[in-house]
A and B are shown apart, each in its own frame.
Chain A
Amino acid sequence: MTAPASTTTIDASAQLSASLVARFPDSVTADARPGFSGFIVKKENLVEVATALRDEFSFDLLSTVTGVDYIAENKMEVVYHAHRTTGGPGIVFKTQVDRVDPIEVPSLINVWAGADFQEREAWDLMGIKFTGHPDLRRILMWEGFEGHPLRKDYKEAFYEEDVKPYKSRWPEGNHTYAEFKNPYRDNVKLPEGFSLDNYQPQTEDQLYFSLERSSTKNDAGHEKEMGDHMVVNMGPHHPSTHGVLRVAVELNGETITSLKPVMGYLHRNHDKIGERNTYLQIMPYTDRLDYFNSMANNFGYAVTVEKLMKIPVAERAEYIRVIMAELSRVQNHLIFIGMLINDLGSMYTPSLYAFEERELILDIFEAVSGARMMCNYFRFGGVVRDIPDDAMQKIKDLVFDRLQAKTDEMERFLNENEVLVARLKDVHVLNAEEAIRHSVTGPCLRAAGVPYDLRRADPYSVYDRFDFDVAVRYNGDMYDNYLIRFDEIRQSLRILEQALKQIPGGPINSQKPQYQVRVPAGEAYGRVESPKGELAYYVVSNGKPNPYRYHVRAPSFVNLTAVETMCKGVKIADFVALLAMLDIVMGEVDR
């Protein structure tokens, strides 16, 4: 059950580059801007090139679609990152269009279905129209919202300056309330001359029309019998949607015939605030993405910026990072199991077992970083402070003596439980093909039989030094999805044991502590295996103290693309469990 080792060589990428340009001499050119990599594809040939990349060059997994607004050059760029599920580095390709509305780019949804939500997000926030996308509605904001917020010329209501630190705050620090500077005295921005008298808010018809209504007309042109069909809205306030997700479901009796997730109820403008922040100021914001795993989020961001800065990481810090990330994975999967069983109807008891262990791990996080959940622990080049001796002892006790036994105990209590098995076994989640097509990563992909784990497929940090297996299971049903979490906990414990034995002494940061880091111009795409899947950051720097573009590829958000495929034809009671399988966190879905 071991994934093939990656063959990362510079020759391979040069070879790929040559063969791709040779294949499409007219439409593909290498991106020659300093610090940038990848290819620039002509808009007209985008679908053709993408299809070739998928079929001929076997880049079967689309990782990211996002836009960059180069306002000075009057260009809008769409950036795609694709990877191979067999491992190895990915490919970056971009297409550039003039920044004149309507900005139109062909949709790649027919090549990679995983582009669906990401293209909708780019339309919502950047105003890039993807022609050929069947359901291009706003996704994070509501229909009727004015403007596309991630464009560089969009100024929010509490806009003060383009970049931080704001002159009013630093160095003198005599700022006033943001409300006092706004004509509406609130976080509100209305078009000029707006009046409520003749204003009609947009309805949600578009959403309900996007459901594949079974009431469509039959051949004779008559409305077909609707039968028991009805539309039910689950959420945003619903106990089993794991936060503020809303799902519009069309039901035939108890069977789901069509559904659409509606999100954005926790859209906290992570990207926009990130582009105003300095590089270091973003670090605490990443904590709040996937709020179960702030360590994993920090990890991804630190890896990305270090790539851009081209600095090494202190040896001891690498091990500390791995220890923290794996502890984080253990507690995440424990909570997953507890919450899944909660959703299945066994309220509280199993999740109390999970929370007991989680509290012990959070104690360690608190000891090293000062906060239970929002750790803000990583720095560029290392971590912020060393592990205290007593905390180190606690970690050792936990890893060597306790967690293994507790995992066994939970498995003993739960795995053979008749009700659990009856609910989970043979309920299909995703098969390998569906999962890859929808860009699903993480445990859901591995439970479908694809051993794709970035710790092995494209190793970062010091993961190549540890002896561990990539957990993989082959049925792709809910029971496998549930068991693979236990497998991953065991593998994490294996890594932890080795890391604790091997951890060297020495400094914990290769750099001097500094508030303002120097980041050369260029782009970087850093990805880590977060407990939810592939967590990636795309950062574009123009050499200034703030990132020019900062985008998060959140695994929960992209995994949610598959929910429609997963849930068609299942009973509504299973839908709750299927949603739990994706292990989504709304902080990460909506950002």
Chain B
Amino acid sequence: MENKYEGLNLPSYNIPEDIQNVVSITTIDRLYNWGRRWSVWPLMFGLACCAIEMIAAQTARYDMARFGMEVMRPTPRQADMMLVSGTVTKKMLPSIIRLYNQMPEPKYVVAMGACASSGGPFKEGYNVVAGIDKFLPVDVYIPGCPPTPQALIAGMMKLQEKIDKQSIKRVRWYEKGKVDSNYVPMPILGPDLIDVRRSKEFEAAAAKKEGVA
């Protein structure tokens, strides 16, 4: 009988008949996830070609509003989900990370299209980051170049399923002692893009290269 999409009620619990229309019994997790899954507000943030399909998904024909995702927020402070819609370039990356760091928890990242997932056709380029997952924790990858609006909506529904399975006790942003787990340090635009988390590794490699030469 259990259908997690149907409602909030825990169907196994017997509510006395006379208050059945008044009282619902549920868990905090269910209530919390129910609220979030239907109000995933994306950051209004387009990078490249995929952003056009993102707009198309918002329009009347596909109507993403059916899933509570139509409220695009231009400011990261009000957004729940970052839809990385397009090629991530090295020059753009610091801005993306700054936006991500400004988003309040709970926050999700969806990599839309081949470029955001892996660099796609432009991976070999000197100014291209081979996938946003090198820097941000990605929840859902949507394949395609660009993904059709249908594919985008399917990806969003996958995100909803993921939200359903989360528990308020275990999500990373509420874990004790891990206050900064959501903060991604800003990369540096030097002679090339430098991931400061890996800077020691990079320096070692640069020194080794010199030794070989």
Contact = CB atoms under 8 A, between A and B. Distances in A.
A144 B191 contact: yes
A187 B130 contact: yes
Contacts of B194: 188, 190, 196
Given A142-B91, A269-B122, A193 B207 contact: yes
A268 B86 CA distance: 11
B61 A359 contact: yes
A185 to B, nearest CB: 8
B82 to A, nearest CB: 11
B201 A184 contact: yes
Contact of A244 (B47, B60, B119, B192): B47
Contact size class for B?
Answer: 35 or more
A191 B192 CA distance: 9
B130 A587 contact: no
Given A142-B91, A188-B192, A269-B127, A373 B146 contact: yes
Nearest to B207: A193
A140 B90 CA distance: 11
Contacts of A229: none
B152 interface: no
A591 B191 CA distance: 21
A149 B60 contact: no
B95 interface: yes
B25 interface: no
A3 interface: no
A158 interface: yes
B193 interface: yes
B195 to A, nearest CB: 7
A586 interface: yes
Nearest to A292: B52
A359 B62 CA distance: 10
A178 B213 CA distance: 22
A186 interface: yes
Nearest to B196: A196
B33 interface: no
A178 B121 contact: no
Interface of A is mostly: loop
A374 B126 contact: no
A272 B129 CA distance: 16
A268 B122 contact: yes
Nearest to A586: B48
A190 B206 contact: yes
A532 to B, nearest CB: 15
A239 B148 CA distance: 22
Given A201-B189, A268-B89, A268-B128, A195 B206 contact: yes
Contact of A195 (B59, B128, B203): B203
A157 B125 CA distance: 8
A356 B61 contact: yes
A157 B192 contact: yes
B49 interface: yes
B199 interface: yes
A145 B192 contact: yes
B119 A187 contact: yes
Contacts of A358: 56
A438 interface: no
A515 interface: no
Contact of A146 (B90, B127, B191): B191
Nearest to B62: A359
Interface in B157-213: 188-196, 198-199, 201-203, 205-210, 213
Nearest to A194: B206
Contacts of B196: 196
A267 B91 contact: yes
Interface stretch (A65-73, A113-121, A283-291, A320-328): A283-291
Interface string B140-154: 000001101000000
Interface in B6-25: none
B124 A373 contact: no
Interface of B: 44-49, 51-53, 55-56, 59-61, 74, 86-87, 89-92, 95, 99, 119, 121-130, 134, 145-146, 148, 188-196, 198-199, 201-203, 205-210, 213
Interface of A: 140-142, 144-146, 149, 154, 156-160, 178-179, 183-184, 186-196, 199, 201, 236-239, 243-244, 264-269, 272-273, 276, 284-285, 288, 291-292, 351-352, 355-356, 358-359, 372-374, 586-587
